[in-house]
């Protein structure tokens, strides 16, 4: 198949390939070919390459590599995958670059490789990234039969929580009213609506709410999912006593939103409360905070105390499933 290629004498081949790679212009899905003393290097952007090189249409073979990153590197790198974006967590930039190149050249078919450049931060819980291969940080991620469009540079999303989200979603019954107070792009809200619940998802982040609406549409639940942009403490005023179920996935500060949760709660309401606590007493502070906010208007029954994952040395990310019964 004809694709745009930079044509150079073979003697200049390696130097040219390196320049093109630095500019992220090498089309890794086609083979580099030698013919009649010239090297043909497939490129992703003919116009950009033409500014410096001779670009021609050339019949380059599609690449079918079975190589894995470990074959090139000699060790198995640690990475996470979100759609066709591969995520690294490397402190050493040279090592990150080496791993990113090995992943891009491998059978993993990554379109973009990024390295974590900051912690998750601020109210919107978004991270900064170094983009090492490719350009776009927007991708489509699939989880338990739902698909989510999202841009990791604009919104929070962790694929590590998939099992935990599924555990919660499986408890949802048809026709119940579920309010996700910190909905992000919808990984709780969308599958809850798919199970037949009437769902409201709220988020402060404009971009997350745009993706939430789009993801409701992609998954065919836009009729059952209302997306609200804003501070959930204000949004709660429009949904007083409304919810049969509340999801509170803002682990560092969910306690500050328990008053809003109590306003949202109906006669009987299940609360999924996420928290980060020390391993010595991972559940006590959350239970105390919930009781302080809900009693005496509600009786509080603790149904599940669950460690979701280790968060930091001696710290756990935990979930409390609690039912509130109006007195």
Ligand X SMILES: C[S@@+](CC[C@H](N)C(=O)[O-])C[C@H]1O[C@@H](n2cnc3c(N)ncnc32)[C@H](O)[C@@H]1O
**Which residues are at the interface with ligand X (CB under 6 A)?**
123-125, 156-157, 161, 182-184, 187-188, 202-205, 208, 231-232, 249-250
Which is closer to ligand X, CB of 184 or CB of 282? 184
CA distances from 250 to 110, 170, 198, 247, 283 (A): 30, 20, 22, 9, 16
User: Residue 309's Cα: distance from chain center in Å?
Assistant: 17
DSSP bridge pairs for 194: none
* Short-list 281, 278, 274, CA closest to 257: 274
Which is closer to ligand X, CB of 134 or CB of 251? 251
Shortest gap between Cβ of 139 and ligand X (angstroms)? 14
Shortest gap between Cβ of 116 and ligand X (angstroms)? 16
DSSP bridge pairs for 325: 268, 299
Which is closer to ligand X, CB of 48 or CB of 307? 307
DSSP string, 114-172: EEE-S-SBTTTTB--EEEEESS--EEEEEETTEEEEEETTTS---GGGHHHHHHHHTT-
Shortest gap between Cβ of 292 and ligand X (angstroms)? 20
Shortest gap between Cβ of 182 and ligand X (angstroms)? 3
> In which residue are the tokens 């919660």 written?
168
Shortest gap between Cβ of 185 and ligand X (angstroms)? 7
Which 3 state secondary structure label does DSSP give 6? Answer: strand
CA gap 164, 311 in Å, rounded: 14
Which 3 state secondary structure label does DSSP give 2? Answer: strand
CA gap 28, 289 in Å, rounded: 54
Shortest gap between Cβ of 118 and ligand X (angstroms)? 15
Residue of this chain nearest to ligand X (CB atom): 184
Which is closer to ligand X, CB of 48 or CB of 204? 204
Shortest gap between Cβ of 282 and ligand X (angstroms)? 18
Which is closer to ligand X, CB of 156 or CB of 316? 156
DSSP bridge pairs for 307: 318
Which is closer to ligand X, CB of 6 or CB of 190? 190
Which is closer to ligand X, CB of 79 or CB of 179? 179
Shortest gap between Cβ of 124 and ligand X (angstroms)? 4
Q: Which residues have a Cβ under 8 Å from the Cβ of 221 and sit 6 or more positions away? A: 190, 193, 194, 199
Which is closer to ligand X, CB of 134 or CB of 187? 187
Shortest gap between Cβ of 220 and ligand X (angstroms)? 20
CA gap 48, 43 in Å, rounded: 9
Q: Is the dihedral of CA 48, 54, 55, 60 positive or negative?
A: negative
DSSP bridge pairs for 112: 85
Which is closer to ligand X, CB of 179 or CB of 298? 179
User: Residue 63's Cα: distance from chain center in Å?
Assistant: 29
């Amino acid at each position: 198949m004809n694709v745009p290629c930079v044509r150079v004498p073979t003697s200049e081949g390696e130097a040219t390939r390196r320049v093109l790679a630095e500019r992220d212009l090498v089309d890794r899905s086609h083979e580099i070919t030698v013919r009649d003393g010239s090297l043909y290097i497939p490129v992703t952007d003919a116009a950009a390459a033409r500014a410096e090189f001779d670009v021609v249409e050339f019949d380059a073979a599609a690449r079918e590599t079975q190589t894995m990153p470990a074959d090139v590197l000699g060790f198995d790198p640690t990475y996470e995958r979100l759609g066709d974006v591969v995520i690294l967590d490397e402190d050493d930039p040279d090592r990150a670059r080496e791993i990113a190149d090995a992943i891009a050249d491998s059978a993993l078919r990554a379109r973009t490789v990024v390295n974590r450049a900051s912690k998750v931060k601020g109210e919107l819980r978004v991270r900064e990234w170094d983009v090492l291969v490719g350009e776009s940080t927007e991708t489509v991620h699939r989880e338990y039969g739902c698909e989510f469009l999202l841009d990791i540079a604009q919104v929070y999303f962790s694929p590590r929580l998939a099992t935990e989200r599924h555990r919660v979603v499986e408890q949802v019954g048809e026709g119940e009213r579920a309010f996700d107070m910190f909905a992000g792009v919808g990984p709780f809200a969308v599958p809850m609506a798919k199970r037949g619940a009437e769902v409201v998802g709220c988020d402060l982040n404009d971009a997350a709410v745009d993706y939430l609406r789009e993801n409701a549409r992609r998954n065919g639940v836009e009729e059952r999912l209302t997306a609200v942009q804003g501070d959930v403490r204000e949004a709660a005023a429009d949904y007083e006593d409304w919810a049969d179920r509340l999801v509170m996935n803002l682990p560092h500060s969910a306690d500050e939103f328990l008053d809003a949760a109590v306003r949202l709660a109906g006669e009987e309401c299940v609360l999924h409360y996420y928290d980060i606590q020390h391993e010595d007493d991972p559940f006590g502070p959350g239970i105390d905070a919930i009781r302080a906010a809900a009693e005496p208007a509600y009786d509080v029954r603790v149904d599940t105390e669950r460690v979701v994952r280790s968060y930091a040395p001696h710290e756990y990310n935990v979930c409390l499933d609690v039912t509130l019964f109006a007195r």
